[in-house]
Amino acid sequence: MEKYSILLYYCYTQIDDPEKFREEHHRFCLENGILGRIIVAEEGLNGTVSGLKADCETYMAHLKADPRFASIDFKVEESDKHAFQKLHVRVKPEIVHSSLRHINPVQRTGQHLSPEEFKQLKDKDDVVILDVRSNYEHMMGRFKGALTLDIENFRDFPEKVKEMKEKLEGKKILTYCTGGIKCEKASAYLLEQGFENVYQLHGGIIKYGIEAGGEDFEGKCYVFDNRVAVDVNKVNPKVVSQCHVCGRSDDRMVNCANPVCNLHVPICESCGWELEGACSPECREHPEKRPYDGTGYYQKEMNGYNPFKGMARK
């Protein structure tokens, strides 16, 4: 059986002509069997992609050969198949949507900690571990003892930090997210607000799982591909989530089959089949409900996106 790789990466760097780069990069992905979601912006590049192991090696070498992306830290996971069904390469104002567009992580950001450094520091008395992800992500899994924020989107981070000021003052703040990208701006914002001892887990939860065994990360890590959620902890795993329907302990993450709802929640297999992938009887009866195949993952609609925009057809 051929082996596949799943790559998670980002790079804050200046891209002067994002549209031109999008066209060239999209063509390269098509020619080399790469699928996934890639965001291009003037501030950099952010992607999660999959492909045959050899094709992913070619992809990584191609990006690193460009001086703009030489510092990319790829998080590489093995797989027995593609993690995506399509390829989207889009130009957007930011590589991760936030309310912190004025912040440039290249100029200033929190001190990067390797997974091992994070592991050694996280349990100290003068430390606060801060999860900068959204509700549906930390609901599925988070570090033991972490401070989580009640936010639906990362753009709400600044407002919630203001509410948490007393819990953060005078502490060493260790931020973390899935792959590290949100922490770049989150930690920079904390520094901007006057907090002095600000750190971030370099490579995020995924790299921590790969290099440090995932110790004390409880539950699963929500990911933005067909897998929906992945195991991280190989040392002392623990289920922390409950089925949204019956309340039983379960870590099976799904999207509600009703696209109007599309709620991201844990639903056990039994309730999943009973409600045909919906999160409630009402959503099960919704006229636009998507067919349920047992996974709870639904490929995003193209929403008018043309993958061949600007590309010369041969």
Give yes or no for residue 228 having a pLDDT over 90.
Answer: no
- Rg of the chain in Å (alpha carbons): 20
Q: At which of 165, 187, 219 does a domain end?
A: 219
Look at residue 2 in the predicted model and tell me its pLDDT.
87
Q: How far apart are CA 63 and CA 248, in angstroms?
A: 45
Domain membership of residue 106 (yes or no) is no
Which domain CATH number covers 17?
3.30.70.100
Active site residue 177: yes
Residue 123, Cβ neighbours under 10 Å: how many? 11
Same domain (yes/no): 57, 8: yes
> Is residue 103 in a domain?
no
DSSP string, 141-170: EEETT-B----SSGGGHHHHHHHTHHHHTT
Using pLDDT thresholds of 50, 70 and 90, give the confidence band for residue 313.
very low
In a domain, 157, yes or no: yes
Domain annotation covers residue 9? yes
86 and 119 fall within a common domain: no
Q: Per-residue pLDDT for 299 more than 80? A: no
Mean pLDDT for all residues in the chain: 94
Both 117 and 194 in a single domain? yes
86 shares a domain with 23: yes
Instruction: Tally Cβ neighbours within 10 Å of residue 257.
Output: 25
Do 157 and 59 reside in the same domain of the chain? no
Residue 302 pLDDT > 90, yes or no?
no
More confident residue, 289 or 254: 289
Of residues 96 and 309, the one with the higher pLDDT is: 96
Q: How far apart are the first and last CA of the chain?
A: 32
Query: How distant is the alpha carbon of residue 133 from its chain centre?
Result: 9
pLDDT of residue 264: 86
Mean pLDDT over residues 117-127, rounded?
97
* Whether residue 191 has pLDDT greater than 80: yes
Return the residue matching tokens 């992945």. 230
Task: Judge residue 28's burial from the number of C-beta atoms within 10 Å of its C-beta, 0-12 exposed, 13-18 middle, 19 or more buried.
Answer: middle
Domain endpoint, select from 219, 253, 275: 219
Stretch 131-143: mean pLDDT, rounded? Answer: 96
Q: Read out DSSP for 171-193?
A: SEEEEE-SSSHHHHHHHHHHHHT
* 310 confidence band (pLDDT: 50, 70, 90): low
Structure tokens at 5: 């790789």
Shared domain check, 74 and 120? no
**Rounded mean pLDDT, 109-132:** 97
Reference 119, options 8, 240, 236, 6; nearest CA is 236
Average pLDDT over residues 125-152: 96
Q: Is residue 104 part of a domain?
A: no
Residues 34-90 have pLDDT tens digits of 999 999 999 999 999 999 999 999 999 999 999 999 999 999 999 999 999 999 999
Regarding whether 174 and 75 lie in a shared domain, the answer is: no
| Residues spanned by the domain of 210 | 111-219
Using one digit for the tens of pLDDT, what is the confidence trace for 246-275?
999 999 988 899 999 999 899 999 999 999
**CA angle 202–208–210, rounded 5-degree value:** 120
- DSSP secondary structure string for all residues of 61-120: HHHHTSGGGTT---EEEEESS-S-SSEEEEE-S-SS--S-TT--TTT--PEEE-HHHHHH
**Catalytically annotated residue among 29, 177, 279, 283:** 177
Answer whether residue 105 is part of any domain.
no
Can you give the pLDDT at residue 215? 97
Please, which pLDDT band fits residue 296 given cuts at 50, 70 and 90?
A: confident
Q: In this structure, are 120 and 209 located in the same domain?
A: yes
The structure's pTM equals 0.90
Phi, psi of 161 (to 5 degrees): -60, -40
Q: Is pLDDT above 70 for 155?
A: yes
301 has a pLDDT exceeding 90: no
Domain count for the chain = 3
Reply yes or no on whether the pLDDT at 304 is more than 70. no
Q: Give yes or no: residues 124 and 185 share one domain.
A: yes
In a domain, 149, yes or no: yes
115 and 147 assigned to the same domain:
yes
Looking at residue 200, its pLDDT comes to 98
Is 267 domain-assigned?
Answer: yes
Which pLDDT value is given to residue 314?
Answer: 43
Kindly state the percentage of the chain with pLDDT values over 90: 88
Among 169, 187, 219, give the residue marking a domain's end.
219
Whether residues 120 and 53 share a domain: the answer is no
**126 and 210, same structural domain?**
yes
The H or E element spanning position 72 is none
Residue 127, domain CATH? 3.40.250.10
Closest CA to 105 of 213, 11, 179, 174: 11
